[in-house]
Amino acid sequence: MITMDEVTHWEDQELNQRNLNDLFYASQPEELPWIRTECVIDVVQAAAYLDQAIVFLYKAIDYNGLECPDNSPVGCAASVAGFITSITWIASYLSFAANACGQAVNSGALCAGDFTALMANFGEIATVGAAVKADCDFGKNIISILTNPAPAQPAWAQFVPGGAGPEAEKILKIKGHQEANRNRGFDIAQCVADVTNAAAYIVRALLQIRTVTPLLAALERVHAEMWF
């Protein structure tokens, strides 16, 4: 006779009971390579978000359109939120790495990683919201933006006092060129972080698909046994 308790906990009967050895990765040699892969991905993404945090910090300090506090309020908000979010992601992935790179399951590290990941996702919403406001405000003259007409005078010209000699103009040109090169360097650093995270998330998705596939097969088998 099947009891109500057996019906309620039918999933538990289909799974092998865990013991203390299951907490140690060495007891699962077939899973160890995948666990170490997670370790590598966690460390790589923590490094990528460190790169991104440095970029956002620079943008908040000295980057036209994103500089704080008065250069652009929404740009400043995007830079600050991006920096805080990146730091939170670093904490999350380092916590996950502390679990995957160790010798046994670290429930405290997993808890910390999950909680900081939740915080970071809320931070992503704030960052993207501010960035959309800054990047999608095209103004009324959309035609001029699409055609991108050449400015009447270069941006650096507004800082040249009236009657200043060619030496002053040359100095400002050099300074503007150096700033543009520095900004370009940080843009490339942001690109590297984005590409690294994209590749890491692809690997992470494959690992998760591998994890869930046998669980779905077991669930399908249980359903089949219940109906037939």
pLDDT surpassing 90 at residue 26: no
pLDDT surpassing 80 at residue 16: no
Averaged pLDDT for residues 175-186: 84
- Mean pLDDT taken over the chain: 78
DSSP string for residues in the chain: ---HHHHHTHHHHHSPPP-GGGGBGGG-TTTHHHHHHHHHHHHHHHHHHHHHHHHHHHHHHH-TTT-TTTT-HHHHHHHHHHHHHHHHHHHHHHHHHHHHTSSB--HHHHHHHHHHHHHHHHHHHHHHHHHHHHHS---S-HHHHHH-PPPSS-GGGGGSPTT--HHHHHHHHHHHHHHHHHHHHHHHHHHHHHHHHHHHHHHHHHHHHHHHHHHHHHHHHHHHHHH-
Averaged pLDDT for residues 106-112: 91
Q: What is the pLDDT of residue 193?
A: 93
More confident residue, 131 or 105: 105
Q: What is the pLDDT of residue 128?
A: 84
Q: Are 124 and 118 in contact (CB under 8 A)?
A: no
Q: Report the DSSP beta bridge partners of residue 104.
A: 24
What is the rounded distance in angstroms from the CA atom of residue 95 to the CA atom of residue 42? 9
More confident residue, 128 or 133: 128
For residue 164, name the pLDDT band (cuts at 50, 70, 90). Answer: low
**The length of the chain, given as a count of residues:** 228
Q: Are 104 and 25 in contact (CB under 8 A)?
A: yes
For residue 103, name the pLDDT band (cuts at 50, 70, 90). Answer: confident
What is the rounded distance in angstroms from the CA atom of residue 80 to the CA atom of residue 60? 6
Q: Are 53 and 87 in contact (CB under 8 A)?
A: yes
For residue 7, name the pLDDT band (cuts at 50, 70, 90). Answer: very low
Q: What is the pLDDT of residue 12?
A: 52
For residue 19, name the pLDDT band (cuts at 50, 70, 90). Answer: low
More confident residue, 31 or 123: 123
Q: What is the pLDDT of residue 149?
A: 54
Averaged pLDDT for residues 121-125: 91
pLDDT in tens, 132-146: 776 676 554 555 545
More confident residue, 211 or 10: 211
For residue 52, name the pLDDT band (cuts at 50, 70, 90). Answer: very high
Which value, to the nearest 10 degrees, does the dihedral of the CA atoms of residues 11, 17, 23, 29 take? -100
What is the rounded distance in angstroms from the CA atom of residue 57 to the CA atom of residue 81? 10
pLDDT in tens, 183-201: 888 899 999 999 999 999 9
Tokens 């035609």: give the residue: 143
